[in-house]
Structure 1
């Protein structure tokens, strides 16, 4: 078993035993390698962000949080190459761009040498002009959407007027290369679209936001006709929204 296959197998071994910890000697015997090799592999998993942890003392060992990991997914060579290139080329200013890059690295690490070389050759043919991005703002928007919490924004509209808003995030919209946070604006008492590159500050709160339907927030706005990306449509049974944002 090569190292890449063993790393995947280690994760599955820990997932199968969770929440009970497994000792290094047990893992070494299971994979017929030295305890030193297992220690290096577990450390490598930890450094790449896999939620493995160790506890010392009696009853201790290595364990994994199964809620924070996914079981292996088998891609064809073409699928792996396509995903790697698409994720690696994600605009740095796009939401979840950081997670996209680490996902691309993990997929690339699982490839065989010929497939990896083909993906690298394809990736070398794709270039992008970098765009300015406030990663702090983007991270707060991502967090608010993920946790369903209220967000305080400082926003500059198309006319240059700055205002402070308290919003309840509902989703994201992309149009003409721009990203918008779609949210219920408490000041306007209506749904609004906030262009991410015009948000000058974003402060998280612990207040839970009320649930809002993305399509309803944007009824009658300028983006009627927008549809859910085909790759995402199969993930939800709800009908695709018809959004178009109104600024500020």
Structure 2
């Protein structure tokens, strides 16, 4: 069994046992590897966002929080391939890393046979990337406070450089992310300008979430002419 298959199998082993823990020694014997290897695998799962936690004590071990995971999915190989293709379109956006993590989690809970068929199908899919897009720089590293701005509901302090190269420090109440073909923006109420503003993500030099919660404020995003085009909410696609 290679490491990728073992990681998937580890998740299923912990899911089947949950909420009872499994010791590293028991898991090592189950997968015929060393305890050290199992501990490295479990650490990798935790770093990728799988809700595995350790329970101390003589009867402790590692357990999976079933309330925060998906059961095995009745998703077809074609549907999994469609997800992979669709998520590829998020390259270069603030959600590229989250897209990869989401796809890994879906694959992790697919039955082994369907997962193997999905891998076979996706291996036969090639995407034709226009030269202009192929020449784009690597996707930007978006700080976690910025990616989590809307769900965290906290005021942000931005170190921002405008189009003229002037640096400013601003407190911003995040409202929405605006996406286009060339750039992504954080839309928010700028306390420096006392007006709604769009901030290009690649011009944000530093960001910190403050303790202050975002107050209720009625803001019309139509006031923002950042993209020069109509805004299409993701909710229209069933998200």
TM-score by length of 2: 0.73
Give 2:238's match in structure 1, choosing from 224, 234, 241. 234
Count of residues paired in the alignment: 221
Q: Secondary structure at the match of 2:123?
A: helix
Deviation at 1:132, TM superposition (A): 5.0
Deviation at 1:154, TM superposition (A): 2.0
The reply on whether 1:199 has 2:196 as its aligned counterpart is: no
Deviation at 1:80, TM superposition (A): 0.2
Q: Report what 1:121 is aligned to.
A: 124
Distance in 1 of aligned mates of 2:127 and 2:229? 37
Give 1:13's match in structure 2, choosing from 12, 16, 27. 16
Q: Report what 1:184 is aligned to.
A: 189
The reply on whether 1:131 has 2:134 as its aligned counterpart is: no
Q: Is the 8 A contact 2:188 2:198 kept in 1?
A: yes
**Residues 221 and 106 (structure 1 numbering): CA distance in 2 closer, same or farther, change over 3 Å?**
closer
Distance in 1 of aligned mates of 2:43 and 2:127? 29
Q: Report what 2:94 is aligned to.
A: 95
Distance in 1 of aligned mates of 2:224 and 2:127? 40
Q: Report what 2:58 is aligned to.
A: 58
Q: Is the 8 A contact 1:84 1:108 kept in 2?
A: no
**Residues 107 and 64 (structure 1 numbering): CA distance in 2 closer, same or farther, change over 3 Å?**
closer
**Residues 81 and 168 (structure 1 numbering): CA distance in 2 closer, same or farther, change over 3 Å?**
same
- C-alpha deviations, 1:61-92, integer Å up to 9, x for none? 3222345433343222211001123324532x
Distance in 2 of aligned mates of 1:3 and 1:133? 30
**Residues 70 and 124 (structure 1 numbering): CA distance in 2 closer, same or farther, change over 3 Å?**
same
Distance in 1 of aligned mates of 2:204 and 2:173? 15
Q: Report what 2:44 is aligned to.
A: 47
* Structure 1 segments unaligned to the other structure (5+ residues): 236-248
Distance in 1 of aligned mates of 2:216 and 2:137? 32
Q: Secondary structure at the match of 1:101?
A: helix
Deviation at 1:173, TM superposition (A): 0.8
Distance in 1 of aligned mates of 2:169 and 2:8? 51
- C-alpha deviations, 1:136-185, integer Å up to 9, x for none? x4433113333111111122223333322110111101123311101111
